[in-house]
Every structure is written in C-alpha cells, then in structure tokens.
Amino acid sequence: MSEKTQGQINVTSIASHTNIENHEVDLAALNSNPLSIGEVGTTLTNAQKDIVLHRLHFDVLNSFEKLPPQVTFIFEKIEEISIPESIEILKKAIKEHENDVNIIDDDLNLWKALVAYHGPEREDYDDIDATTVEQSSGITKKLGSVFHINKKQESTKEKSGQFVHTVKPVSSNDKSSDDETNDIHEHKIDYYKITDWSLQVRLEAVIIAYWSPYPQVRAVTDPFDDPTIPVETIRVYLISLVWVGLGAVINQFFSERFPSITLGMSVVQVFLYPSGKFLEWLLPKKKLKLWKFSIDLNPGPYNYKEQMLATITCGVSSGTSYVSTNILMQKLFYGNTWVDWGYQILLTLSTQYMGFALCGILRRFAVYPVKAMWPQFLPTLKLNKALLTPEKKQTINGWKISGYNLFFITSAISFVYFWVPNYLFAALSQFNWMTWIAPENKNLAIATGSFGGLGVNPIPSFDFNIIGTAGFYYPFYSTLINYIGMLVSLLVVVAVYFSNMYWTSYIPINSNYLYTNKGERYKVSAVVNEQSLFDQAKYDEYGPPFYSAGNLVNYGSFFAIYPFHFVYEVGTNFTTMYDGFKSLFEGLRNWKKSSYEGFDDPHSTMMRAYKEIPEWWYLAILVFSLVCAILCVKVYPAETPVWGIFFALAINFVFLIPLTSIAARTGFSFGLNVLVELIVGYAIPGNGLALAFIKALGYNIDGQANNFINDLKQGHYAKIPPRSMFRTQILSVLVTAFIQLGILNYQITGIKDYCDPLNKQKFICAGTTTFFNASVLWGVIGPKRVFDGLYPVLKYCFLIGFLAGLLCIAIKKYAPRKWTKYFEPAIFLAAFFSWAPGNLSYSTGGLYLGYAFMHHVRRKYEAWFGRYSYLLGSGIDSGISFAAIIMFFAVQYKEVDIDWWGNNVPFEGWDYALRVKGARYNATLHAPDGYFGPRIGHYP
C-alpha cells in the first residue's frame, strides 16, 4: 500500500500479488506528489524503462517529469516481483487464455516464448529459491521487505531490519519540459522480440497479475484501488434519481420508434458529471446524524467512483422493460380493458426484480472470471475516466487532443450532423439510391431496398443511427461472423421467397406482420372470443395466419440455435460451465463462504476489500418477484396458470449459464422468448395471453439478469462496493417502473396513428408487432397446427441445430487452431434472425466501421485505440441521442416538414410500400380460388 507521509511515498512489498494490500494505494498521495521517470524503477536502466513505457503505451507522454500513477505503480511492481513467480503467472495465463478469442495472438506467443526461453539469463534463475528475488541490477531482497522511496534522502541505510533505497533522478531519462529531448524513445522498439528476458518476463507477469491481459480492459481501468474514496454519497442518490427519471421518460417514449432512439449512457454520463460538480459546490460541508448513521453531505471533490455508481444506477433506465411490450399489446392489439395500473406494476416489478435476483447466481461465472470481459460496456468506463481522471499530455500518432476534448468535439459534430440525414436530407439516412433508378421496379426494390427490401447495397446509409457505433466497441471477429451469416441467410430468404415455398411469394418478402390467405393483414380479433382465447368457429371461417419469407427464416433459425448453442457451449466450454455450476452449488451450500474464493485475478483481489452481498438478499428479492407474478395471474384475468411462472424460472436456470457465457466474452446474446413461446404453445393451446405472460418472464428473467450483470461487471472494474450497487439498483428499478408505465399509457392515446406501419414519426412498434404476431401464431393458433399443417419444416430445425452443434464441436476440436480461434458459430447462426423488419443495410456500414477501428486501428495503433476509439463512439452516440430528442419535440411532433426531393425520394416507389404490401404474386389473381394455403374446410 502506498501512502504519502510528510513528503514521502512509502511502497510496501507484499509476498504475493493475491494479497489485497499489494493492490491498494493512497490515490490522493500519488496524484499530489507524482514522481518523475528518474524516481521510479531505480534498479532499471534507461533502455529497460524505455521498454516498459513502450509496452504500456506511456512512451507517448509529452513529459516524464510527473508520471501518471499507473506508471509509478507498475514500475514498483516490476521491481518487487520475483522471476519464479513471474514464470508461474505466465504459465497459468497461457493455459487459461490458450483459446481466448479476445487475447491478441502476439501477446500469447510472447508469453509462450518467455516461458520457453533458454538463454543465459534464464539459467541464472533456474535454481533460485522462490522466496528470493534477484533484480537485474544485482539487488537482492527477501519478499516481505519494505522499500521506502524517499526523494529527500541521499543515502541508503538499514532501518529496523529493512532496506531504505535512495532514488536518484536520472536526468538523461527525465523530460523536464515539453520541448526537452533526451535519449529515450529515439529508436523503434519491436517489443515482441525478446531483448531483455528478465525484464520482459516480469513486466508481462505484472500486467497480468496487477492489471489485465486485455489491452481493452487496461485502457479503461487502473491496476490499483483506493478503498478510502467515498462512493455511496447523498450526491449520487440525488443526481441518479433525476437522471433515472429523465432516462425512463425518453427511452420509453422512443422505444417503439424504428430505428429506436435512446438517451444513451454516454449522454447521461456527460450530464451526471456537471450535476455532481454542482452539488459539490452547493451542498454544505457538514454531516447529518440519522439514528446510528452519519451522512456526510459533501465529502470532498466529486470523484470517479461516485460518477461510476451514478452511471450504473442510471443504466437501469437505459432500456425499457420487456413487459412494456406485453402491456402495449394487451391494451392496443388485444383490447384488454382490465389491464390497469395495478396489473402493470405487478407485472413490471416481478420481471425486473426476478432478473435482478438471478445476479447472485451469475456473479461467479459472469462477473469475477477474467474472460468475462463484456466488451460492449467498456466505453462507459472509458468516458467516465476521461471526464474525471486527470490526464497527462500525450502525443499519439500525431494526436495531442485530450480524451475529454475529443468526446465533446465529437458530440457537437454528431449533434449538428444528425439533423442532415434525419431532417434536412432524409435520403442520406435510408440511402436506397439503387431504387431511385427505377422506383416502380418491384424486384429491384426487393433486392436493394432499405425499408421493405433485403438491403443489398454497398453504401446503405450516411446516418450513424443506422450504421450504429458497435464497430467501435464489439470485437471485429464478432461483427464479421455476423455479417457472413447475414449474407448466407439472405440467400436462404431469396430461395424461400422466389420458390414460393409455403406460399411466401403471396406476402411481402421481409415483413414482420402476419397475413391472411388473401395477402391481407391478419386481425386476431377475427379468431378469438371475448376472453381473448381461441375460437374454433371463427378460425374455420377466417383461416390461419402466414409468415413472410424473412419471418420464416427468422423463426427457423431461432428453433435451431437453442439446441445448437446448448450442445456447442457444453462441448467446447464444459470446464468453464462445470466450474460455474460447481461454484454456484458450493455457494448455496456454504453460503457464509466468500463468493470471491477461487478467483485470484487482480480485480477480484481488489474487490475483496468490500463487503459482499449475502445470498439471502438475492433470495428475498426472488421471493418478492414471485409473489408479484402470482398476484398478476390470480387477481387479474390473465388466463395464465401459476405453474407457468415456475416453468419460466426453471428454464432460465437451464440456459442461464450457456447464454451468459457467450455474451460475457463476445458481447453477443439472445433470449429464450421463442423457445418459451413454443413450449407454452404446446402446454396451453389456444391461449395467446398466457403465452405472452410466460414468455415475458422467460425472456426478461434472463435478459434483465444480463443487464444487471453488465452493471456488476462495470462496478467490478471500477471497484464500486457491491452493496452500494445493490441498494441503488433496487431503488432505480422501482422509480423506472412507475415512470415508464406512465409514459406508455400516455403514448397509447396521445400519439396519432401510434403503431401504424406507415407512421410518419416512425412509431411503427416493430417489436410489439412481432411480439403480438408470435402470441397469435404460437399461442392462439398453437404450434401443433403450425408444425403439423402450416410449416412442418420448422420442427426439423431443432434436429438441424443439434447436429450442427456436434459438427461444430468436432471442427473446433480437430481443425487447426489458426482457423478455429475466432470460430463462433452461434453468432453466425444468430444472423439468420436479423430479418423482418431488419435487413442487410443495417449491418453493412457497421462492418466497415468495425474493420477500421476494431481490426486495423486496434492492431496497428493500440495506443491510439486505447485512448480515443471508445470516446469517438461514445461521442457519436451522445450527439445522436441529444439531437434526436430535440429534433422530435421541435420539428417532428407537430410535423414541421421540409418538402423537397431529398426528403421525398426514399419513400417513393416500391421499397417503402414493401413494409406492408407488394408481394410477388397477388393472391386474388394468381392463387387457386383466389386464396393460397390449405383449402377451406381443411385448415390445420
């Protein structure tokens, strides 16, 4: 532990990197009295310091007179760690990360080379005792001794049986000003060649044992922690509640827009920062006594941990509750007038809190393991560091701008630019330029259209709301595999459509609506009774519903991915999953034992400084949520049996680990909604309401659990006390639920043509429409009729998925590793359900972006990537969110339109019309007897 005492920084060397004290520092001391390059690493030569700085990307600093605390810390640990311990750390890392898709090959190969090295330096350490450390300078010390780095002392002397080493500045290696030049960094370093084995083996071990093996994680975290920093303050609660409320309002309001707009966390973070600083200035510096608790109203400067806790708290409102779709569907589509506030609150709280309760189960294999990286949430940490952590001036590939300034400049540019494709020149947004050549050519619109077509377009958009910013965050292999899957699934959709398989040529190719056997929109009211249950007589008269080609491929891929993913994850990650289940049952059996037991990575080690969340806390939340769900089906006519609630909980226990494991390492995830609706459709036939209710539980338990796990991982990286997160998240869920339900009820009656597919403001309710259609086909009509009569091919998708899982296990196991390291077939298969209403145009721009930043820049310019890439994406997201909100209320809510060619051309012709009409064949003209499908009197 480092602490500043009377002008001196004491650095304590502990015997093992797994001890908490060896990771803790007094951050105020390090920041107030920074060391220069000459005052650290005194046992290292200038050339060795150069290697360390280059490896950590701190060689880009404009001045080495005042080093960042991360540099000081790493140099200290390099001098403390032993060669034998370093070798053991590297051996363990090689074993753990051998097939890790997020580890750079160059890093893994370097670790192997360092362990296998047999040069003269290695021979000197082969017989060394593990309790002795021999530094390259010849200084020997026993582990457990204390080195005091004292700038005022001029001699080395022994004090109380410990060595006190004098640090003498190395003037030739110390930049005193931005203009001063010296001998450091004048030559290009090829770090992946072993030039100084004893240094490099210690440096790599320190990076792994004290920081992270992933450069993405090192870019957003610190290798140390200061547990004395105030976190759960009154300031956090005040600003969080304000922004949770605003986020809930905005995100619910735009949730049914396509593409949707959210008040992203990047925007919220930007406003949380000045809000916290304002309260730092406003609140009095005094303490309040409440019972036996003392509350400090203003505990010093607003800090990074407060910002992170406030961000995590607000993250609960960053997305809408899945059951808001249930409520909208029941009120607007089914017309259930009994869906009052009581039902809505009970349903929302039951699903949200049930997902929250499962976090206790997921922690051991989705938060604590090093491989559980959750790449999609690293930008949140990066932005908060840019906002609150002081930065030293750097020059990276010619860029001198600070991360703070880059974010705000990018946000401003994004804000201004968003108005161009989304208001002034709409053609740039859905850039369906190929259809302009012949707007009345239906086949051209089908192939290249952005609205109702397949989106085969090399330049589909200039709008980042369409392109997305995932290319700044997600691993490129994930983006590429998904895009290849989209291309293959495109061919499948085309084959199904143009072969008229299952009458799909009588329906628009990529619509997510259900259609009658005459090609018209299907009305569920025509086949249900007053209780919204299936009516056989009405069905015999009206006929069955039908899917488009895109929707058919979508559902087929869903049926295939469940057996595939379960088999594949068990076959390829059995050890990880076994350890997860074993840890889970051990935790339940020995509930008093630390949940961190068995995890010795640096971040888990540092988190041991904070009180853990008892298992019974999560159990209490689970019981509460079950009670709410049971009240829903007992007090209200939800037509749902109580056993369905426990079924939804049970099926999540089966799939929770395999689903979460892939999401944690790749950022890709999918829910259990389709599997649940299939099983419930068989178990409770003719009941769309029961299907929708149990489906919401089945999906949202897992989906919401993953959301909360993401938050816990962010807190894990930022060293936020778990109990603080628990309390703030519980409160946030409660506040968000009431606000979002209020907005939802207003939207149903307050927005003109809400959920109409041609809504001018893009409130087409794509998600709710899909949800409703599923309740009709799989709930009201039932899977028996679907599999036996309408679409028998779908039932074979389960077998196809199972066999494909076995095949891919064999490929992963026996094919050359260079071909299988990035082999993630679940991502490929998941691309098949990107259709109806999505298409290729929503993925092409993201592929270009991902290649540029997550492949080329990340590999060639790692320092630039670590400093700027996430901030660019966050800045773009921030500008979009802010601009979209202002634009809607300023010029779109009251339809202040600009009528000119650039705003009209994308909506003219067949592409836009294909959303709801424009099939290849007209059923009335081309189908036998004027309708397609099974004959009247022989409906399945």
On whether the CB atoms of residues 737 and 349 are closer than 8 A, the answer is yes
Residue among 819, 393, 478 at smallest CA distance from 668: 478
List, in sequence order, the alpha helices (H) in 636-759.
643-666, 673-683, 688-718, 722-750
Least confident of 55-69, 403-417, 586-600: 586-600
- pLDDT exceeds cutoff 80 at 705: no
Q: What percent of the chain has pLDDT over 70?
A: 88
Burial of 679 (0-12, 13-18, 19+ CB in 10 A): buried
Q: What confidence category does residue 741 fall into, taking pLDDT thresholds of 50, 70 and 90?
A: very high
Q: Average pLDDT, whole number, for the chain?
A: 82
State pLDDT tens for residues 15-39: 468 888 888 888 888 888 888 999 9
> What does the buried/exposed string (b/e) look like for 131-146 if buried means 16 or more CB atoms within 10 Å of the residue's CB?
eebbbbeeeebebeeb
Q: What confidence category does residue 265 fall into, taking pLDDT thresholds of 50, 70 and 90?
A: confident
Residue 410 is predicted with a pLDDT of 93
Say how far apart CA 696 and CA 690 lie, in whole Å: 10
Q: What confidence category does residue 884 fall into, taking pLDDT thresholds of 50, 70 and 90?
A: confident
H-run or E-run covering 295: strand 293-296
How many C-beta atoms lie closer than 10 Å to residue 425's C-beta?
17
Mean pLDDT of 184-189: 50
Say how far apart CA 837 and CA 213 lie, in whole Å: 40
Location of structure tokens 């309001």? 253
- pLDDT exceeds cutoff 80 at 163: no
| Six-digit token string for 619 | 């159990």
Q: What confidence category does residue 240 fall into, taking pLDDT thresholds of 50, 70 and 90?
A: very high
State pLDDT tens for residues 759-778: 777 788 888 888 888 888 88
Mean pLDDT of 532-561: 90
From first CA to last CA, the distance across the chain in angstroms is 73
φ/ψ region of 289 (left if φ > 0, alpha if ψ in -120 to 50, else beta) reads beta
- pLDDT exceeds cutoff 50 at 8: no
Residue 207 is predicted with a pLDDT of 95
H-run or E-run covering 344: helix 341-357
Describe the chain by its helix, strand, coil percentages, rounded to 5: 60, 5, 35
Say how far apart CA 150 and CA 148 lie, in whole Å: 6
Least confident of 298-302, 344-348, 389-393, 437-441: 389-393
| Six-digit token string for 667 | 């950022």
Mean pLDDT of 485-493: 95
Mean pLDDT of 124-150: 36
Taking the model in full, what pTM does it have? 0.80
Location of structure tokens 């009335």? 924
Say how far apart CA 791 and CA 346 lie, in whole Å: 36
Pick 612 or 698 by higher pLDDT: 612
State pLDDT tens for residues 274-333: 899 999 999 998 888 877 777 888 898 999 999 999 999 988 766 678 788 889 988 888
Mean pLDDT of 177-196: 58
Say how far apart CA 36 and CA 171 lie, in whole Å: 10
Say how far apart CA 82 and CA 60 lie, in whole Å: 28
What would the DSSP string read from start to end of 599-624? --SHHHHHHTTSPPPPHHHHHHHHHH
